[in-house]
Amino acid sequence: MKTCIGVFAHVDAGKTTFCEALLYLGARIPELGRVDHESSTMDHDAVEKRRGITIFSDVAEFSLYGRDFCLIDTPGHVDFSAEMERALSVLDAAILIISAVDCVQSHTLTLYKLLRKRRIPIYLFLNKMDQPGADASACLIDARDKLSQDIFLLEEAGSLNSQALIEWICDRSDKLLEDYINSGGDISELEAATALTELIKSGGAVLALSGSALRLRGVGRMIEVISKTLPAPIYRSDEAYSGRVFKVIHDPKGARVSFARCLSGNLKVKDEVECKGLLEKVHEIRIYNGESYYCVPRIESGDVAGIVGLAGAVPGTGLGDCPDLPAPTLQPAIRASVNPKSSSIDAVFEVLKKYEAGDPLIEVSFERANNSLSIRAMGAVQLEVLREAALARHGLDIGFGDFKVVYKETIAKPVMGFGHFEPLRHYAEVHFRLEPNPGGGIAFASELSADRLPMQHQNAIRHFVLARDHKGVLTGSSVTDMKVILANGAVHLKHTDGGDLREASWRAIRQGLEKAESILLEPYYEFEANVNMDHLGRLLSDLARLRGEFSPPEPAHGRALVRGRGPVETLMNYPIELASFTKGTGSISNRFLGFFPCCNSESAIASIGYEKERDAENTSSSIFCSKGTGFEIKWNEAEAWMHLEKSKL
């Protein structure tokens, strides 16, 4: 049974070097590769080599201390946080790398919170102890201040029943404390490890080691500690197959490969597996080690493999009886037009859709009206990498227009929406109550009994509500954080089909939005800026100018640390400006925080210039029928024409 561990870090903390050391010690590679030599096993993509950062999650296997492991190396750059987050669903434990020179960075804290939220056992590795300025004690103090007080730094050669560790565990484990008192302090390593295991599983303890991945110091010891304190995963090998997809790629030959972990049962080539409600045949099963792979006829519970043949799988898809993961909380923050340059627009669209299939936070749109492409993404770096990858892998030269932020819309107060669709021989009427749903995206509920409207029709309405990206009336941006409650509805026994309910539902939502008090939302970053004290005044002045909100500066190793939040629109280009006036000594790390009310909504609405009356695909009018002829009634008059008694707030 393989143990699946993920390696996480703020960018440049030495994560990929740590993974390289693990594979070397586990005899998976004959010699150590290096990021700066473009020879590491896990960063094999041409774009990763050129940039020197991990962009795509990669998988490899190794064995140490009598235990088999599957290793997942995750991206450290915030623009690729979604790629990192998707790996969490298949992990048994995580190793969080911290540079002993730079200590805890903003993204380190984000990663720690995310791992804690998912209840994944965490081990810390204080890396780069071979470099000038590295200080394990200072790094430990910083980690305890910012991450958790429940961190214990192990000596590299120390045992797990050292007196200091046992006393530390006793402070946190009532059972071990009782055994310690009853035995007169004679506690075995097994007893200590058992108590420690329970603490690690519950999040009450985090073990840390210091070392140097580049010099192979402490890396093997980390796996030894994990082997002794993390129980082997238990999977249901005698049950039907289920699995979780966490990554999708297209290999150089165009095959779609879905990386998934087998959570129960087993899977064989030529088996059919349920995926998105359909049965799909498995054509190939691949075991990957970085870029290379070999094919196997079968995988068992706990294995991680690349599966060829799952056309409908996307990251987060559950296979068999495993449910799909919820939609990611992160949302694309910027958008840009796509310039195909020398390639056809169809060829570029096809390639970009492949990348979209592998990354839910890339959204590619084709505008039929003007035959143009646009794309939404998390950040500028993500689009730059996409452009480089399209050129390197597909020979397509793609340009992007100026980056603009992605807006969203929501409503301030409850409102009723009414939709009617009745061309000749068609009929459906739907009444919705639209309510604010802060932080909850689009949600659906029904107040109707099955006697009033059969459940098959209610389920169809639910599907139509959740399946569409509804557009707001201010800017045509996506509507979010709104609950759609079915208050009333009607069908005709003979003339209603599914399309009628779809049209009535979409028109009812749009009609409600026309009457609602709409709010324009813009994306925000949370940031952490680190500068020399003599640059602090300029930094604070800039942040105020950029509409940033921040806490009082904190002293940090002779420098100033400023944390806060601000609009993506003003902050997305500031790292370049900061690096310029500090001559490279200052830095700011931005991470997507969410959507909040827009500070300058009037100018944003005016600059976008959305004309809602000309948006034929998002109409708010209803269609009625009289004397065999269908006719249109505008949204502001439609309520008076409804057949059902009008529902009230």
Tell me: do 68 and 98 sit in the same domain.
yes
**CATH classification at residue 118:** 3.40.50.300
614 DSSP 8-state letter: G
Question: Does residue 329 belong to any structural domain of this protein?
Answer: no
Instruction: Select from 162, 195, 229 the last residue of a domain.
Output: 229
The confidence band for 443, taking pLDDT boundaries of 50, 70 and 90, is very high
Q: How many CB atoms lie within 10 A of CB 249?
A: 17
Q: How many CB atoms lie within 10 A of CB 297?
A: 10
Tell me: do 80 and 151 sit in the same domain.
yes
Domain range for residue 211? Answer: 3-229
For 13-27, 386-400, 570-584, 617-631, which range has the lowest pLDDT when averaged over its residues? 386-400
Tell me: do 215 and 315 sit in the same domain.
no
| Tens-digit pLDDT profile for residues 42-100 | 655 555 555 555 556 788 889 998 889 999 988 766 666 777 777 888 999 999 999 99
From the list 147, 202, 142, 210, the residue with the least C-alpha distance to 172 is 202
Contact (CB, 8 A) for 107 and 591: yes
* DSSP code per residue over 507-539: HHHHHHHHHS-EEEEEEEEEEEEEEEGGGHHHH
- Residue ranges with strand state E in 174-215: 206-210
* DSSP code per residue over 113-137: HHHHHTT--EEEEEE-TTSTT--HH
Tell me: do 24 and 172 sit in the same domain.
yes
For 37-41, 290-294, 309-313, 541-545, which range has the lowest pLDDT when averaged over its residues? 37-41
Question: Does residue 648 belong to any structural domain of this protein?
Answer: no
Contact (CB, 8 A) for 348 and 398: yes
> Which residue matches tokens 């390593």?
189
How high is the pLDDT of residue 180? 81
| Tens-digit pLDDT profile for residues 468-503 | 889 999 999 999 999 999 999 999 988 888 789 999
**CATH classification at residue 360:** 3.30.70.870
Tell me: do 466 and 415 sit in the same domain.
yes
Tell me: do 135 and 200 sit in the same domain.
yes
Tell me: do 150 and 72 sit in the same domain.
yes
Instruction: Select from 320, 346, 378 the last residue of a domain.
Output: 320
Contact (CB, 8 A) for 25 and 64: yes
How high is the pLDDT of residue 584? 80
How high is the pLDDT of residue 278? 86
Tell me: do 340 and 267 sit in the same domain.
no
Tell me: do 193 and 247 sit in the same domain.
no
How high is the pLDDT of residue 108? 84
**CATH classification at residue 277:** 2.40.30.10
Question: Does residue 213 belong to any structural domain of this protein?
Answer: yes
Tell me: do 183 and 287 sit in the same domain.
no
* Distance separating alpha carbons of residues 15 and 99, to the nearest angstrom: 9
**What is residue 167's three-state secondary structure?**
helix
Sign of CA dihedral 594, 104, 359, 245: negative
Question: Does residue 419 belong to any structural domain of this protein?
Answer: yes
Question: Does residue 471 belong to any structural domain of this protein?
Answer: yes
The confidence band for 220, taking pLDDT boundaries of 50, 70 and 90, is very high
Q: Count of domains in the chain?
A: 5
Instruction: Select from 207, 229, 251 the last residue of a domain.
Output: 229
Question: Does residue 326 belong to any structural domain of this protein?
Answer: no
Tell me: do 578 and 449 sit in the same domain.
no
As a whole number, mean pLDDT of residues 558-577 equals 89
**CATH classification at residue 591:** 3.30.70.240
Q: Which residue would you say has higher pLDDT here, 175 or 641?
A: 641
What percent of the chain shows pLDDT beyond 90?
45
Kindly report the average pLDDT of the chain as a whole number: 87
How high is the pLDDT of residue 38? 61
Question: Does residue 447 belong to any structural domain of this protein?
Answer: yes
| Tens-digit pLDDT profile for residues 500-517 | 999 999 999 999 999 999
**What is residue 404's three-state secondary structure?**
strand
User: Is the predicted pLDDT of residue 350 greater than 80, yes or no?
Assistant: yes
User: Is the predicted pLDDT of residue 622 greater than 90, yes or no?
Assistant: yes
How high is the pLDDT of residue 152? 93
How high is the pLDDT of residue 78? 66
User: Is the predicted pLDDT of residue 417 greater than 80, yes or no?
Assistant: yes
Tell me: do 29 and 152 sit in the same domain.
yes
Question: Does residue 608 belong to any structural domain of this protein?
Answer: no
Q: How many CB atoms lie within 10 A of CB 324?
A: 14
